[in-house]
Structure 1
Amino acid sequence: MSEHLPRRQALLLGAAGLLSACASPPPPSAHPEGWHEFALPGKRRNRYRSVVKEGRTAFEAVSDHSASLWRRRLSIPAARVGPVSFSWWVEGLLAESDVSDSAREDAVARVIFGFDGDHRRLSAATRAQFELAELLTGETPPYATLMYVWERRAPLEAVITNPRSDRIRKIVLDTGASQLGRWRDHRRHLAQDFERAFGEAPGDLVSVAFMTDSDNTRGRARSWYGPLSFS
Structure 2
Amino acid sequence: MPTRRYNISPARCLALFLALLAVAETKADVETVPVPPFSAQTDIGTPDSAWEPLTFPNIDNRTVYSFKKEDEIQVVQAETDNSASGLITRVQLDPTEYPVLSWRWKISNVYESGDARSKAGDDHPARVYVAFAFEPDKAGFFERMKRKAASALFGAELPGRSLNYIWANKLAVGEVVPNPYSDATRMIAVNSGNAQAGSWVSVERNILADYREAFGEEPPGIVGIGIMSDSDNTGEAATAWYGDIALGNRPRGNNDLGHEAQ
TM-score range, shorter chain: 0.7 to 0.9
Q: Give me the TM-score of the superposition, normalised by structure 1.
A: 0.81
Report what 1:157 is aligned to. 174
Paired with 1:131 and 1:163, the residues of 2 have a C-alpha distance of: 23
Paired with 2:114 and 2:148, the residues of 1 have a C-alpha distance of: 29
Paired with 1:128 and 1:96, the residues of 2 have a C-alpha distance of: 36
Report the 3-state secondary structure (helix = DSSP H, G, I; strand = E; otherwise coil) of the residue aligned with 2:158.
coil
Confirm whether residue 191 of structure 1 aligns to residue 201 of structure 2.
no
Report what 1:87 is aligned to. 104
- Encode CA deviations 1:16-38: one digit per residue, 9 max, x unaligned: xxxxxxxxxx8533x4xx11122
| Greater gyration radius | 2
Report the 3-state secondary structure (helix = DSSP H, G, I; strand = E; otherwise coil) of the residue aligned with 2:66.
strand
Paired with 2:109 and 2:127, the residues of 1 have a C-alpha distance of: 14
User: Unmatched 5+ residue regions in structure 2?
Assistant: 1-44, 249-262
Paired with 1:81 and 1:200, the residues of 2 have a C-alpha distance of: 17
Relative distance call for 1:133 and 1:164 in structure 2 (3 A) is farther
Q: Which amino acid aligns with 2:57?
A: P
Cα deviation, residue 204, structure 1: 0.8
Confirm whether residue 39 of structure 1 aligns to residue 58 of structure 2.
no
Question: Is the CA contact (8 Å cut-off) linking 1:66 and 1:215 kept in structure 2?
Answer: yes
Cα deviation, residue 64, structure 1: 1.5
> Identity of counterpart residues, as a percentage?
28
Q: Which amino acid aligns with 2:187?
A: K
Question: Is the CA contact (8 Å cut-off) linking 1:81 and 1:205 kept in structure 2?
Answer: no
Question: Is the CA contact (8 Å cut-off) linking 1:81 and 1:204 kept in structure 2?
Answer: no
**Where in structure 2 are the equivalents of 1:46-195 lying within 5 Å?**
46-124=63-141, 126-127=143-144, 129-131=146-148, 133-134=150-151, 137-195=154-212
Cα deviation, residue 135, structure 1: 5.5
Paired with 1:126 and 1:106, the residues of 2 have a C-alpha distance of: 26
Cα deviation, residue 92, structure 1: 0.9
User: Unmatched 5+ residue regions in structure 1?
Assistant: 1-25
Q: Give me the TM-score of the superposition, normalised by structure 2.
A: 0.72
Question: Is the CA contact (8 Å cut-off) linking 2:47 and 2:53 kept in structure 1?
Answer: no
Report what 1:21 is aligned to. none
Comparing 169-178 with 126-135, greater Cα deviation is found at 126-135
Report what 1:28 is aligned to. 47
Paired with 2:163 and 2:75, the residues of 1 have a C-alpha distance of: 22
Paired with 2:154 and 2:172, the residues of 1 have a C-alpha distance of: 33
Paired with 2:126 and 2:178, the residues of 1 have a C-alpha distance of: 17
4+ long deviations beyond 2 Å: 26-29, 53-57, 123-141
How many positions carry a matched residue from both structures?
203
Question: Is the CA contact (8 Å cut-off) linking 2:95 and 2:207 kept in structure 1?
Answer: no
Report what 2:224 is aligned to. 207
- Encode CA deviations 1:117-174: one digit per residue, 9 max, x unaligned: 4222123454455346436533343111111001111111111101121111111000
Question: Is the CA contact (8 Å cut-off) linking 2:96 and 2:208 kept in structure 1?
Answer: no
Question: Is the CA contact (8 Å cut-off) linking 2:134 and 2:158 kept in structure 1?
Answer: no
Q: Which amino acid aligns with 1:97?
A: G
- Encode CA deviations 1:36-55: one digit per residue, 9 max, x unaligned: 12222221211111211244
Report what 1:18 is aligned to. none
Relative distance call for 1:40 and 1:117 in structure 2 (3 A) is closer
Question: Is the CA contact (8 Å cut-off) linking 2:172 and 2:192 kept in structure 1?
Answer: yes
